[in-house]
Amino acid sequence: MRQMNASIRRLAVVVTTLSLALAACSSPGGGASATPAGSGGTPASAPATGGTVNIAINPWVGYEANAAVVANILEKELGYKVEKKDLKEDVSWQGFETGEVDVIIENWGHPDLEKKYIDEDKVAQNAGDTGNIGIIAWYVPKWLVDEHPDITDSKNLNKYADLFKTSESGDLGQFLGSDPSYVQYDEALIKNLGLNFKVIFSGGEAATITAFQQSVTDKKPLIGYFWDPQWLHAQIDLVKVNLPPYTEGCDADLEKVACDYPEYALNKIVSTKFATEGGKAYELVKNFTWTNEDQNLVSDYITNEGMSAADAAAKWITDNEAKWKAWMPQ
């Protein structure tokens, strides 16, 4: 009887071992079950950990909003680790060559960089539009337009130049630039349009926002470079100054440019290696698309509601399950 029991025990061990092996083979990626964010507690199989995804973080809050949402899904739903790297726009592109950057999640049209890194060096690829339409323009606060209705025509700016003089601009009107690493050619525009203004760079998004807010609060004249999508448009009224209209190729020579900025269909740029070897992470980035309103909402959470980028992304993901589910790899 003891001999029989030992045989039975040995058989049980074999069966158990075989069952575990079969289960391991049939489990997606070898992972255990997990509950995805926003799924209402419904269990689902967790995909395999896919390694690390390096996302460049360019210095404006809308970009940070995009990156935070994509990073949350990569980590919580697809099992990747995300490394966020704070980099200027042009430096981010250099990372495709060195292998330090996999993804630029919001590109504002850099034809010179596209030519070098995509067309010539072939170390980067277009991964499709984000769904956001980017608008770069010169803006003045609405209260100033109410007082001087013709100030929105660039041809009339010289007669108002004295309104914008500052200690930094001297005898010229001050034009407030932002971060000089952004897509901008304001100095060339001012020169080529014969305007009596001097570009003074604020240094970045936060300083530019503060300047426009103070202009509204203190009724201090201000003209400057700004853009949309950007949450500030929901808080104060800014009016676009009409420059000579953009036509195809009018900005080809940045020394001679004398036209408005184009509208940009914002897109995602990825390294060629990531496009070919990134698996589900690449599919998610390629599928990611949302609206200016979505981005502005997450940006507002970060900037005005005291949320971290991660918490703001998590809130949007919880409230918009149908949208992000459509981005998931098949």
Answer yes or no: are the C-beta atoms of 51 and 280 closer than 8 Å.
Answer: no
46-133+264-325: CATH class? alpha beta
| Spatial distance between the Cα atoms of 210 and 206, rounded to a whole number of angstroms | 6
Residue 30: pLDDT above 80? no
Residue 64: pLDDT above 70? yes
Predicted local confidence at residue 21, as pLDDT? 36
Answer yes or no: are the C-beta atoms of 297 and 229 closer than 8 Å.
Answer: no
| Spatial distance between the Cα atoms of 299 and 304, rounded to a whole number of angstroms | 8
Domain boundaries, the chain: 46-133+264-325, 134-263
| Spatial distance between the Cα atoms of 130 and 72, rounded to a whole number of angstroms | 17
Predicted local confidence at residue 49, as pLDDT? 52
Average pLDDT for 71-95: 97
Residue 292: pLDDT above 70? yes
Average pLDDT for 223-234: 94
Higher pLDDT, 49 or 28: 49
134-263: CATH number:
3.40.190.100
pLDDT digits (tens, 9 = 90+) for 189-211: 999 999 999 999 999 999 999 99
Lowest mean pLDDT, pick from 30-34, 47-51, 73-77, 79-83 = 30-34
Predicted local confidence at residue 24, as pLDDT? 36
Orientation of helix 309-319 relative to helix 61-76, angle to 10°: 70
* H helices present in 101-247, as ranges: 111-113, 142-147, 186-192, 205-218
DSSP one-letter string for 188-224: HHHHHTT--EEEEE--SHHHHHHHHHHHHHHT----E
Partners of 140 in the β-ladder: 239
CA 79 to chain centre: 22
Report the percentage of the chain scoring pLDDT > 90: 82
**DSSP run (H or E) holding 140:** strand 124-141
Predicted local confidence at residue 234, as pLDDT? 84
Residue found under tokens 């940006």:
299
| Spatial distance between the Cα atoms of 239 and 190, rounded to a whole number of angstroms | 19
**Cβ contacts of residue 314 below 8 Å, gap of 6+?**
37, 72
Mean pLDDT (the chain, rounded)? 87
Predicted local confidence at residue 126, as pLDDT? 98
- Supply 141's token pair: 């606060």
Predicted local confidence at residue 254, as pLDDT? 87
Dihedral sign, CA of 83, 84, 87, 91? positive
| Spatial distance between the Cα atoms of 13 and 33, rounded to a whole number of angstroms | 25
Residue type at position 24: A
Average pLDDT for 295-302: 95
Predicted local confidence at residue 22, as pLDDT? 32
Alpha-carbon distances of 281 from 32, 77, 83, 117, 218, rounded to whole Å: 19, 10, 13, 21, 48
Quick check: helix, strand or coil at residue 54?
A: strand
Fold match, 46-133+264-325 / 134-263: yes
pLDDT digits (tens, 9 = 90+) for 110-159: 989 999 999 999 999 999 999 999 999 999 999 999 999 999 999 999 99
Average pLDDT for 55-76: 97
